[in-house]
A = this chain, B = another copy of it.
Amino acid sequence: MAEDTTQNHKPHSPGDSGDAAPRRYRVTSFDVAAEAGVSQSTVSRALAGDPVVSEATRARVAAAAAKLNYHVDENAARLRTGRTGTLAVVVIVRPEQDMKTFNPFHFSLLGSVCAAASARGHDTLVSFQGAVDELRGLYQEQRKADGMIVIGTSENPTAWDYFRGVAQSGAHVICWGSPHEDLDWIRSDNRGGARLATGHLIESGYRNIVCIASETSAQRQFKERWQGYAERMAEEGLPPRLITFEEGYSRDEQGRRAALALIESGEPFDAIFCCCDEMALGALPVLRDHGISVPDQVGMVGFDGIRAGALAAPTLTTIEPDFHAAGAALVDRLLAVIAGKPFEKERVPVRLLMRKSSKKVLK
């Protein structure tokens, strides 16, 4: 019940820093003005870097502000300007999902988004949203943020529907991972990445290359990766083969089951392009358990560049998106939309991260 207008009282005059009287009041621009011998409006202008303020005045104000340890109250500034300098970043998780099972790819993306926003002078208000009765997207209405970046799993359609509604109501929203085409999105160059992966396997001498993916998943990238693979195979005159993973399992379990199905089919294969790393990491032990050596007998390439791939045995060759570019694209596009410019879709470049699971020749 510390409820009172305690903010109105000043502890001791802000100039005398020596004594030990408890600081009860906030230092305001009026205090700085008094200290510097100028008006409060001049303090505001000087500290905001308004070029109309003379250099001498600016320096005097800066010194006074430093002496009093003054900092602008952003709530007051935001109330006045209507701008928050803050971006909401919503990470969609599965309902009831445990953080430790959360897709590390999205964590990396989150980190890149926060870094990009920070580099552009914006704060990031981050939330992990899963439970369908606890979805919150009123950031702009409450003036907590100027716009939102929504990333995460497409396996929570209710959440995506909700944020589609938020976007349709006029909020500024940019997405990564949306199952809805009508939301403004940024994505990896999935087709190009799949071509890269497939080409690499072909160049490494593999020929019977199969693809674990899906044409019907809500995650559009899986279809795009399958298409890039099929395209590249066709160019080489090689027959594409799709092993469709089953819905309703965790990614690594999907990889496990797909690998089992592949082996049990009896059809020959000497390489697998897996549409995501977590499936590839689920598939690897199945091959090992069946006495199939990777990369000597079967090559394997994943997609996403998650950290666990670097710790797997063998280490997993993968296609890695440019996380830096991804974060920058999401933030820059959002800032452009906030500034009133039209949205432009963008593909983030990817690169081949060559590791041991595809090196037929070596070792």
Contact = CB atoms under 8 A, between A and B. Distances in A.
Interface of A: 2, 6-7, 23, 69, 71-76, 78-79, 82, 84, 86, 89, 98-102, 104, 107-108, 111-112, 114-115, 118, 123-128, 134, 138, 141-144, 170, 252, 278, 281-282, 284-285, 288, 305-308, 310-313, 320, 323, 339-340
A310 B72 CA distance: 48
A76 B126 CA distance: 21
Contact of A71 (B89, B102, B142, B308): B142
Nearest to A338: B2
16 contacts: A2-B340, A23-B170, A71-B142, A75-B84, A86-B125, A99-B323, A101-B307, A102-B108, A102-B111, A114-B126, A118-B127, A124-B125, A284-B313, A285-B313, A288-B313, A307-B308
Given A69-B141, A142-B71, A144-B74, A124 B126 contact: yes
Nearest to A88: B123
State the number of copies, please.
2
Nearest to A169: B69
B82 A111 contact: no
A238 to B, nearest CB: 30
Nearest to A119: B134
A323 B100 contact: yes
Given A75-B79, A76-B143, A99-B112, 18 more contacts: A71-B142, A73-B143, A74-B142, A75-B143, A86-B125, A98-B323, A99-B111, A99-B115, A99-B323, A100-B306, A100-B323, A101-B307, A111-B128, A114-B128, A115-B128, A125-B125, A282-B311, A311-B312
B143 A74 contact: yes
4 smallest CB-CB distances across A and B, nearest first, come from A99-B111, A308-B308, A71-B141, A126-B126
A76 to B, nearest CB: 5
A288 B293 CA distance: 14
Contacts of A170: 23
A110 to B, nearest CB: 8
A73 B79 contact: yes
A281 B311 CA distance: 6
Contacts of A252: 310-311
Contacts of A75: 75-76, 78-79, 84, 143
A214 B167 CA distance: 51
Nearest to A107: B107
A311 B308 contact: yes
A288 to B, nearest CB: 6
Contacts of A284: 313
Contacts of A114: 126-128
Contacts of A307: 100-101, 104, 308
Nearest to A100: B108
**Residue from A71, A288, A340 having most chain B Cβ neighbours under 10 A:** A71
